[in-house]
Amino acid sequence: MNRQALDGAAQAQLFTDARTANQWQDRAIDEKTLHELYDLAKWAPTSMNTAPARLVFVVGAEAKARLRPALAGGNVEKMMNAPATIIVASDPRFYEHLPELFPAYPNAREMYADNPPWAAETAFRNSSMQGAYLILAARALGLDCGPMSGFDNAKVDAAFFSGESPESGYRSNFLLNIGYGVDGSVFPRGRRLSFEQAAVIV
């Protein structure tokens, strides 16, 4: 594989110029873009191609009303005004898809089905990684992102992942507001740790 580095403009859009959005333009995201977003993000690497992340795109007024009681007070306005909020969740029974997703190892399903703690750990870790790729995919499509962790997971799961629906049993990981941010509405750029503070070469 002969890869070339992205140019500075692409790197800036994905990383150095990208900011967490807190206020949103009154501009909807069409359904086609949401499909494009998933079709990019689905290529995130996961262990044994487990792909445990499940996404709920909260866009309608009724769905937003269901999500609202689970949010910390400071996050309500951000979510209500965002064109879409994605519940990034994981399917604890992700292993049921492994015969299709990882046919190279016929016993992959049983490895996880017979070890629920390992399955739960795998689901959380890999759905988190998929969520990170989701942010990059959104930025690549020209969307702004506002990831949030200030919410009650149990309330989200009760509101969206209970009952007899196919989503029953999913577990929320984090929330991601997406849309088109308002220029000048972000907090001042916070510093980051230097290489010497955060990394070591051994």
Confidence of residue 143 (pLDDT cuts 50, 70, 90): very high
CA-derived radius of gyration, the chain = 18
At 129-139, the pLDDT tens digits run 999 999 999 99
Q: Residues with Cβ < 8 Å from 14, sequence gap 6 or more?
A: 6, 136, 139, 140
Given phi > 0 = left and psi -120 to 50 = alpha, else beta, which region is 5? Answer: beta
Ranges of each domain in the chain: 20-180
Beta carbons of 98 and 138 less than 8 angstroms apart = no
| C-alpha atoms less than 13 angstroms from C-alpha of 199 in its C-beta half-sphere | 5
What is the average pLDDT score of the chain? Answer: 96
pLDDT over threshold 90, residue 186: no
Q: Encode pLDDT of 55-99 as tens digits.
A: 999 999 999 999 999 999 999 999 999 999 999 999 999 999 999
pLDDT at 140: 98
Q: Can you give the pLDDT at residue 163?
A: 87
CA 2 to chain CA mean position, Å: 29
- Go through 44-59 and write b for each residue having 16 or more CB atoms within 10 A of its CB, e for each that does not: bebebbbbbbbbbbbb
Percent of the chain predicted with pLDDT > 70 = 100
State mean pLDDT over 192-197: 97
The enclosing H or E element of 144 equals strand 144-148
Name the pLDDT band for 150 (thresholds 50, 70, 90): very high
What CA–CA distance (Å, rounded) separates 22 from 185?
Answer: 7
User: Could you tell me how far CA 104 lies from the centroid of its own chain?
Assistant: 27
CATH fold of 20-180? NADH Oxidase (3.40.109)
Check residue 70 and give its pLDDT: 98
Average confidence (pLDDT) over 177-184: 92
